[in-house]
Amino acid sequence: MRNKINNSFGEWHKIISNQAFEKRFPSGIHNSGMLLRSPKEFDDDNPAIEFLKMKGFYTQESISDKEMQSNLVLEKIIDYFKYVTPLVDYLNDAIE
């Protein structure tokens, strides 16, 4: 995954900085842990270094109890999946 992000950082950045993505996921990309140092294959000044240090990637946004009880909750969840799909496809491509 790190090589994919490093080699196509423009594509990665385009996905996560997309206005529709940022609207649905204002807290951005989360990680499941961070390396303390840059991976040895990458320089500290690499523009993607913040992401190259991540051990995993996910998005997360809360849905309130009121929203969960709404008739529109399914549409909201589908909307989240719609706008996270490019990120999931990108990451899946890296591991295929």
Tens of pLDDT, residues 2-54: 999 999 999 999 999 999 999 999 999 999 999 999 999 999 999 999 999 99
Domain that holds residue 91: 2-95
pTM: 0.85
39 within 8 A of 2, measured Cβ to Cβ: yes
Q: List, for residues 52-78, the tens digit of each pLDDT value.
A: 999 999 999 989 999 999 999 999 999
49 within 8 A of 21, measured Cβ to Cβ: no
Token couple for 21? 């993505």
Q: What is the pLDDT of residue 80?
A: 94
Q: What is the pLDDT of residue 79?
A: 94
CA angle, residues 84, 95, 92, in degrees to nearest 5: 20
CA angle, residues 12, 5, 10, in degrees to nearest 5: 40
Q: Give the total number of structural domains in the chain.
A: 1
2 within 8 A of 52, measured Cβ to Cβ: yes
Q: What is the pLDDT of residue 96?
A: 84
5 within 8 A of 91, measured Cβ to Cβ: no
